[in-house]
Amino acid sequence: MKIAVTGCGPAGLAAAIMLTEQGYDVRIFERFEFPRPVGSGIILQPTGLAVLGDLGLHDDIHALGKRIDRIHGVTMPSGRQVLNVDYSVLGDDYHGLAVHRAALFDVLHARAQALDIEILTNVDVVDAVISGREIAIVDRRGQSFGPFELVVDASGAGTRLKHRAMQPARTRELAYGALWGAFNWPDANFDENTLEQRYVAAHSMIGVLPIGGCSAATDDQVAFFWSIKTGDYARWLKDGLDAWKSEVLSIWPATGVILDQIHDAADMSLARYGHSTMRTPYGRQLVFLGDAAHSTSPQLGQGANMALLDAWSLVKALDQSDDTNTVLRIYAASRRWHVRAFQLSSLALTPFYQSDSRLLATLRDWFFDPVAKLPIARRIVAGLISGMLASPPKGLMK
């Protein structure tokens, strides 16, 4: 079977690798001139790590990341603990792994190169044309590539192929996004195995995530996040770095060692978030993976993990039938409840951390921690953060 994969992110690379290893004839199409990682530090959860383990990449990725045992959040100025999630509640082997996006990209890209997977760059895919049981893709310049028997669309939240899905989904832009940057790990003040957050109501949030080095030769780094309404970005630029640094310092003085490394507004990149869930993540001879199928705010830290799970599930579905339509139905069914549970949880919980609502922030500050201390709630919260809730694909988690 000839398969085109659009997009060279985690979903596209993982799918291309697994499909090639199963003997399919795969080509990747990427809009950038050089394939490159987009995005910041991310947490690979036990689910995503299981997929990478299945690919034989456990040691490669662990060599580049930082083990995360705990996620801890405190509301300011009261100093009240709001979030305290310990992966070990699920078992001794459970943990997250925080990595720079570049590290995840490099590990997957190196495997794709070792398998001689062809990556065609400068191909900005804008449409797909179906003829019988074949499909071709078309780029912005009108060039056509194909025919293929299947297109795997992994071109992220902005996919141009979504109108080809059985039930195209609308994207709701979220008011809040984040500024983020990667800097040298400050030796003092922070725990190197904890994602730490500070909140002021739900309108301000600071995140400090240890992410290890991007390569064996690079020193450890930290990903630094600041929640911001994307509509306020122009004002943030105009007000200048000093005003912002004073605000951050007044909330969390210990971040001074990180702020000292920020010399230019361009050191912090703006990430915008949208929420969208495709109910039926496939069309004729076409299937959607990762953010192309479901995108959301990264508050629960699941996006890249979901992308890896999608790729793994698609390849397992291909094992089960020779008929493409049947395969796509099996794939969609295998991911349905896990994806919906996390998309819904993300939609429900994000406003407690990123919104203008004082009421939600007050409820969070007073109730989240006491409730989460109940034994059953501790497991549910840990299951939510680790991606283990709502049964991830059968046969993957040992």
Ligand X SMILES: Cc1cc2nc3c(=O)[nH]c(=O)nc-3n(C[C@H](O)[C@H](O)[C@H](O)COP(=O)(O)OP(=O)(O)OC[C@H]3O[C@@H](n4cnc5c(N)ncnc54)[C@H](O)[C@@H]3O)c2cc1C
Q: How far apart are the C-alpha atoms of 61 and 21, rounded to whole Å?
A: 19
Strands 204-212, 294-295: pairing is unpaired
10 binds ligand X (CB under 6 A): yes
| Contacts to ligand X from residues 263-282, by CB under 6 A | 271
39 binds ligand X (CB under 6 A): yes
Q: What contacts 222, CB < 8 A, 6 or more positions away?
A: 41, 182, 183, 184, 185, 186, 190, 208, 209, 210, 211, 258
Pick one of 29, 224, 282, 331: the residue that binds ligand X (CB under 6 A).
29
Pick one of 68, 154, 228, 330: the residue that binds ligand X (CB under 6 A).
154
Pick one of 21, 60, 124, 369: the residue that binds ligand X (CB under 6 A).
124
Q: Compare residues 100 and 160 and give the one whose CB is closer to ligand X.
A: 160
Closest distance of CB 32 from ligand X, Å: 5
Strands 176-184, 269-271: pairing is antiparallel
Question: Total residues contacting ligand X (rule CB under 6 A)?
Answer: 37
Question: For the chain, where are the alpha helices, taking DSSP H only?
Answer: 10-21, 46-54, 58-62, 101-114, 233-239, 241-251, 256-259, 303-318, 324-353, 358-363, 369-372, 375-386
Closest distance of CB 114 from ligand X, Å: 19
Closest distance of CB 310 from ligand X, Å: 8
Pick one of 4, 5, 8, 330: the residue that binds ligand X (CB under 6 A).
8
Q: How far apart are the C-alpha atoms of 211 and 158, rounded to whole Å?
A: 27
Q: Compare residues 172 and 358 and give the one whose CB is closer to ligand X.
A: 172
What DSSP element (H or E) covers 81?
A: strand 80-86
| Contacts to ligand X from residues 287-346, by CB under 6 A | 290-292, 298, 301-305, 307
Q: Which residues bind ligand X (CB under 6 A)?
A: 6-12, 29-32, 38-40, 42-43, 123-125, 154-156, 158, 160, 178, 180, 271, 290-292, 298, 301-305, 307
